[in-house]
């Protein structure tokens, strides 16, 4: 007991020093925000943040703490950016600022008009005006990093075909946060140019997800070639541009309307309750008061019982784990990153404690965010 008290008293002294240093660091951060405002600089300075992290990791004597120190600085600089944006905004009427921000929000999605991502974006950001679309998922992450957009919306999982691997990988590569979630019902239709019938069709274009979700239904069409394409809506656009009765696409009803095409066979998705979940990605951590879901990534040592030991914290703290997805750790063959979703917000005390334990004991740990889950 004496020993514990000794340790705690040492921690109290360290905390006191750290708090004073924290205060000094935040005061400097405020001064920098004045400078940035005068010189019209962006708050987020990626290169500087990377340098701060690398420099401080190089000071570490015990390299075992490297990923923890990285998380520490990422969070610290997030707070620093938060204080800078508050400082810059405080000179204005806050309601006006919020309205201005909402109206000027720039959101990006992958694909073209008529895609399911575009539909999910409109559902989530109801009156959004500044919209940008990109060809590849990574283009969205780069645009977010370069501050060309404020948020990106990306599909992460389909209820019948599972996770979108590329999106999972990008969430680990880039240091962004999940700040929201949206779900939409997906109905796939076979669509072609006006007047085309099923007997005319020789080639069908769609995203591989469109084919996968309609695998059984597609068996009833004979002599039809399936051609994987960039996106369901881009496939619809192609069919419309080619204006050829032998070509069709698998896409949404909305895409058929937008590209002036006819539905030849409706609702061809094999599972009728077919949903896709999207996540909204932002540069900064946002814990809104209605957050009820949290996501993180971890990896464990290659020893028996390691994953069990970490997952046990969810049971110990009575936290409902809702999903585990594993992806290969590309740098070490046959080792995996586990993407974990669970109920509750990082603001809940029991979640904070579970996460602290897990972060300490994982080989690699990354917090992805707390956000409001979608209803389906």
Ligand X SMILES: O=C(O)C(=O)C[C@]1(C(=O)O)C=C[C@@H](O)C=C1
DSSP classification of residue 373: P
Residue least distant from ligand X (Cβ): 80
Minimal distance in Å, beta carbon 73 to ligand X? Answer: 8
Residues near ligand X (CB under 6 A), total? 11
Range 96-100, long-range pairs (CB < 8 A, 24+ positions): none
Q: Which is nearer to ligand X, 49 or 348 (CB)?
A: 49
Q: Counting Cβ atoms within 10 Å, is residue 1 exposed (0-12), middle (13-18) or buried (19+)?
A: exposed
Instruction: For residues 343 and 295, give the distance between their C-alpha atoms in angstroms, rounded to a whole number.
Output: 9
Instruction: Name the residue nearer to ligand X (CB basis): 80 or 299.
Output: 80
Cβ-based nearer residue to ligand X, 35 or 308: 35
Query: Residue 144, interface with ligand X (CB under 6 A)?
Result: no
User: Helices in 134-269 by DSSP H: which ranges?
Assistant: 137-145, 165-173, 208-213, 215-218, 232-242, 253-258
Report the residue count for the chain: 376
How far is CA 247 from each of CA 186, 224, 262, rounded to the nearest angstrom? 22, 10, 12
CA distance 204 to 214: 12
Residue keyed to tokens 């603001």: 347
- Residue 80 binding ligand X, by CB under 6 A: yes
In the complex, the smallest distance separating the C-beta of residue 33 from ligand X, rounded to whole angstroms, is 7
Minimum distance of ligand X from residue 78's CB (angstroms): 9
Interactions with ligand X, residue window 11-70 (CB under 6 A): 29, 32, 44-45, 48-49, 52
CB 143 within 8 A of CB 132: yes
Question: Does 81 sit near ligand X (CB under 6 A)?
Answer: yes
Which of 278, 338, 342, 365 is the catalytic position? 278
Q: Does 82 bind ligand X (CB under 6 A)?
A: no
Catalytic one of 116, 137, 276, 365: 276
The site for ligand X (CB under 6 A) is made up of 29, 32, 44-45, 48-49, 52, 77, 80-81, 84
Active site amino acids: 276, 278
């Amino acid at each position: 007991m004496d020993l514990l008290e000794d340790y705690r008293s040492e921690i109290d002294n360290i905390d006191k020093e750290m708090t004073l240093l924290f205060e000094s660091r935040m005061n400097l951060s405020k001064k920098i925000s004045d400078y940035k405002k005068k010189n019209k600089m962006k708050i987020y300075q990626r290169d500087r943040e990377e340098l701060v992290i690398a420099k401080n990791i190089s000071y570490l004597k015990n390299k075992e703490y490297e990923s923890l120190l990285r998380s520490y600085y990422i969070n610290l600089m997030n707070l620093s950016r938060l204080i800078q944006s508050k400082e810059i905004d405080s000179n204005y009427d806050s309601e006006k600022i919020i309205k201005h921000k909402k109206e000027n929000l720039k959101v990006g999605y992958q694909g073209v008009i008529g895609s399911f991502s575009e539909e999910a974006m409109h559902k989530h950001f109801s009156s959004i005006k500044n919209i940008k679309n990109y060809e590849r998922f990574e283009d969205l992450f780069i645009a977010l990093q370069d501050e060309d957009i404020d948020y990106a919306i990306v599909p992460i999982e389909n209820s019948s075909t599972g996770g979108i691997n590329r999106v999972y990988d990008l969430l680990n590569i880039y240091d962004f946060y999940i700040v929201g979630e949206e779900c939409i019902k997906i109905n796939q239709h076979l669509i072609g140019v006006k007047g085309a019938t099923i007997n005319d069709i020789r080639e069908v274009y769609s995203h591989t997800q469109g084919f996968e979700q309609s695998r059984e239904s597609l068996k009833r069409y004979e002599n039809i070639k399936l051609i994987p394409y960039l996106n369901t809506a881009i496939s619809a656009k192609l069919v419309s541009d080619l204006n050829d009765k032998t070509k069709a696409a698998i896409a949404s009803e909305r895409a058929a309307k937008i590209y002036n095409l006819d539905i030849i066979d409706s609702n061809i998705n094999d599972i009728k309750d077919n949903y896709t979940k999207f996540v909204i990605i932002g540069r900064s951590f946002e814990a809104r008061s209605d957050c009820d879901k949290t996501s993180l990534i971890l990896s464990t040592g290659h020893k028996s019982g390691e994953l069990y030991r970490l997952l046990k914290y969810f049971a110990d703290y009575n936290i409902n784990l809702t999903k585990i997805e594993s992806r290969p750790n590309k740098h070490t063959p046959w080792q995996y990153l586990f993407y974990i979703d669970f109920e509750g917000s990082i603001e809940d005390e029991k979640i904070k404690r579970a996460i602290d334990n897990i972060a300490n004991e994982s080989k690699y740990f990354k917090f992805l965010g707390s956000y409001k889950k979608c209803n389906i």
